[in-house]
Amino acid sequence: MTLAERLPIRLGPGPLNAITDVPGIEVGHHTHERVLRGTTAVLCRGGAAAGVSVRGSNPGTTHTDALAATTAGSLVHGIGLTGGSLLGLSAVAGITEWLHGEGIGVAVFGGLIPIVPGAVILDYRLSDPAVLPTNEWGQKAAAAARGGRFARGNAGAGAGGTAGKGPGCVRTKGGLGTASLVLPGGIVVGALVVVNALGGLIHPVTGKLYATDGGFDVPLLYHQTDEEPEATASMSNTTLGVIATNAPLAKPQLIKVADLAHDGLARAIRPAHAMGDGDTIFAIAPHGDRVKLDTTTGANLTDLVGAAAADAMVLAILDAARETEGAEGWPSVREARAAFTPSRAGPAR
């Protein structure tokens, strides 16, 4: 009998195994037809409570300060994720403008202001620096947003993602993935991730995935490699995530959920949260069709959802690894593992 079979409660995915299993969540992409670069819109048209946790040391974000614990802001109508680094933030503005055109936003003196925080990845290794996300990209991503299934892998903001760029890491193509978990009581926790990491997904000594086989008991020396002879913190990277849930959580609780979701990121990517990363995770709880829980306290509920968020983040990163095809000089995870040879990056056991 396996460990999973012996567990008293076994959590499973939602019907789609995607963040869109959470009621009120829609996802849409715009991916450039020629260049590996794109934009992803995660919409909650009816509004959602939101929090954010930025753990990387080199983030590129917009409107995240408004979601800090000591500020008044707590409502969002969407999250924008995009390539292009800071020059890609025009696409987040495009998502905001599209929602405004749809009559969605906070009523202010007879007008409407949609609230759309966002974050960027630096995806210049595979993308043409002259082809940058525009306002139109964001509008197209928002217009394409639907519930149900959506493209993963080299899609949307994940199109130009890469991983394993740090010293001693196994380089692979990054991408976009998603997953969901259904908890007792009908709580749904979904994750969406854009993998563009300094760290790697594959253990350089064993050739196995950190997400499934760990290997953290083998210390690694992150030395300079032949591929990156001058690897420094200036090699800016970022893994972005969105956690969504139908649990009745407010901003302070969602900030903690986003914090805990970073644990999942660190289980699947090694190292994570480095000086050259801008790792950022949003957590949102759409208004409307929320699960009703009479006997769960706020602290217990936060921990329950946060622990599931970390697990869903691991599963979303695995989904990105499965769904992403390789690009020139950047093999898919499947290709990299098939061609694996042990690195000198760690001691023999």
| Residue 5 resides in a domain | no
Q: How many domains does the chain have?
A: 1
| Residue 20 resides in a domain | yes
| Residue 26 resides in a domain | yes
Cis peptide bond upstream of 271, omega within 30: yes
| Residue 280 resides in a domain | yes
| Residue 187 resides in a domain | yes
Q: Please report, for residues 70, 82, 95, 255, 316, the alpha-carbon distance to residue 144 in angstroms, rounded to integers and kept in the order given.
A: 34, 15, 11, 28, 21
Alpha helices of 223-340 — where are they, by DSSP H? 251-268, 298-323, 333-338
| Residue 54 resides in a domain | yes
Which amino acid, 41? A
Report the alpha-carbon distance of residue 293 to residue 332 in Å, rounded.
42
Largest CA distance in the chain: 68
| Residue 249 resides in a domain | yes
Structure pTM? 0.92
Q: Are strands 240-245 and 280-286 parallel, antiparallel or unpaired?
A: parallel
| Residue 311 resides in a domain | yes
Q: Which of 32, 42, 12 is nearest to 147 (CA)?
A: 42
pLDDT at res. 221: 64
pLDDT at res. 235: 52
Residues sharing a CB contact under 8 Å with residue 196, sequence separation 6 or more, in sequence order:
121, 122, 123, 158, 160, 161, 162, 163, 174, 237, 238, 239, 240
pLDDT in tens, the chain (349 residues): 554 555 556 689 999 999 999 999 999 999 998 999 999 999 999 999 999 999 989 899 999 999 999 999 899 999 999 999 999 999 999 999 999 999 999 999 999 999 999 999 999 888 788 899 999 999 999 999 999 999 999 999 999 999 998 878 899 999 999 999 999 889 999 999 999 999 999 998 889 999 999 888 877 766 554 454 444 444 568 999 999 999 999 999 999 999 999 999 999 999 999 888 899 999 999 998 898 876 666 678 999 999 999 999 999 999 999 999 999 899 999 999 998 877 654 443 3
Structural domain harbouring 285: 11-336
CATH number at residue 118: 3.60.70.12
pLDDT at res. 234: 46
